[in-house]
Amino acid sequence: MLAKRYIGKKLVDNIFTTSKKAKQAIKKYGKENVINATIGSLYDEDEKFAIYNVVEKVYRNLPSEDLYAYSTNVIGEDDYLDEVIKALFFDDYKEELKNLLYIASVATTGGTGAISNTVKNYMDTGDKVLLPNWMWGTYKNIVIENGGQIETYQLFDENGNFNFEDFKNKVLELAKTQKNVVLILNEPSHNPTGFRMTYEEWVNLMNFFKSIKDTNLVVIRDVAYFEYDDRTEKETKSLRKLLVGLPKNVLFMYAFSLSKSLSIYGMRIGAQIAVSSSEEVIQEFKDAISFSCRTTWSNVPKGGMKLFETIMKSPELKAEFLKEKRAYIKLLKERAEIFLNEAKDNRFCRTDANIRPQKLIVLNLYFFVHSIVFFVPFTRKIRCCLIACFKPYSHSIFQTGHIFFSFKDTLPDRNIFRTFNPNITAAFFVSKSHTTHSNTGCMTNKNRRCSIHISHIKNHFPISLNGCIF
């Protein structure tokens, strides 16, 4: 009975499926016996879900009408829409960019809603959308859902830098046959690698965009983790300035998420922010996107928008938020530093490069004999999960390698572990009280932690991962 365009579609969501199984195991066997490395969320050093105190305080004191009533507008509360633009482009954006850029925002159901809304409105049916070969898997689902196809570019070159040549060639190839080329740049704090482009790489990229004449480019910049980027205000404003002078046929679309910014994952609050040198293009955006909002989710929860705008508009509350955020950033850096220090002088992972697909190897598996472990499976190349143990034994882990490997597809030709590449590091680390933050998985079991950490050493903000594909 399905419409033809939906026949054959079936969601395979390994993260939520595995998370459900982990939670069921916790109920059955007890929290102390289960390691849950599935859904990515920030946890504090007391092994509790990270909640900003200022967020809790403000939300609990919002007027009932703000919590339960419809939003004032289909596209979102006016003050919220202004504050999300300020969050990305700073308070002076109106003065500094006046008559240079036109910017508009629309409230969406998280960053996912922003990406979906963009693909829906700017990708023609049957077109290919250009995605990085290392990506958040839901990008593909969004494209397929809207009748598109997938093309990928190599995110890294042989030196671990942004692979501009492959990216450029893929864009030019698509431009030969498509009126619109929709592409995604997940930066800063790329999921799953934590990669961040240098200023010089951005300059190179923007100059390339300016050279495109006969094709429309819709550049989706997924900034879900921008709050945890450690660029200075000066550096970020330098990137903002690069948007000036883009031709009319280049539209930048920012996918903004409060799930990570305020740690309010379940509220599903985000925004779609369009930036163009053309007022006409922005008006077209407003007209079309508001139509899609009304017919898809009507409007997003008013309470989440009021929460964000209340904090951002109050100097005192904003200062509280920034203080708490700095503490979490410091915590993440400390965890990354522990990993770097532990991994520096110890070769911690070992395997056989000739291992065949589907073969399972277990090294020193005794570590988690008494634990039930849940990881998210991956579909590209290999899946690698490193298991941590009690903090006192962290040094011996690096020396003896308590590692669990599962190979799903064929191995890459290069060394499957890029551990000793000067630009890319993949490794295990233990936090100071055994917890990790991850954008694809978080350990919640006290005293046993693990993660894969991949960082672009020259210009990264470290994000830890529970597993990654090499």
Q: What are phi and psi of 463, to 5 degrees?
A: -125, 130
Quick one: tokens of 75?
Answer: 């596209």
Q: Return the pLDDT at 279.
A: 96
Question: Which tens digits make up the pLDDT trace of 373-421?
Answer: 555 554 443 233 333 322 333 333 333 232 332 222 222 332 222 222 2
**Cα gap 308→95, rounded to integer Å:** 23
pTM for the full model? 0.76
CA atoms within 13 A on the CB side of 104: 20
Question: How do the pLDDT tens digits run along the chain, 470 residues long?
Answer: 888 878 888 887 767 777 787 788 778 878 766 666 666 677 777 767 889 999 999 999 999 999 999 999 999 999 999 999 999 999 999 999 999 999 999 999 999 999 999 999 999 999 999 999 988 889 999 999 999 999 999 998 888 889 999 999 999 999 999 999 999 999 988 887 778 899 999 999 999 999 999 999 999 999 998 888 888 999 999 999 999 999 999 999 999 999 888 888 889 999 999 999 999 999 999 999 999 999 999 999 999 999 999 999 999 999 999 999 998 888 877 766 665 565 454 443 333 333 222 222 222 233 333 445 555 554 443 233 333 322 333 333 333 232 332 222 222 332 222 222 222 222 232 222 222 333 322 222 223 333 332 222 222 222 223 332 22
The residue whose two tokens read 């002088």 is: 345
Q: Are 338 and 331 in contact (CB under 8 A)?
A: no
The residue whose two tokens read 């002078």 is: 245
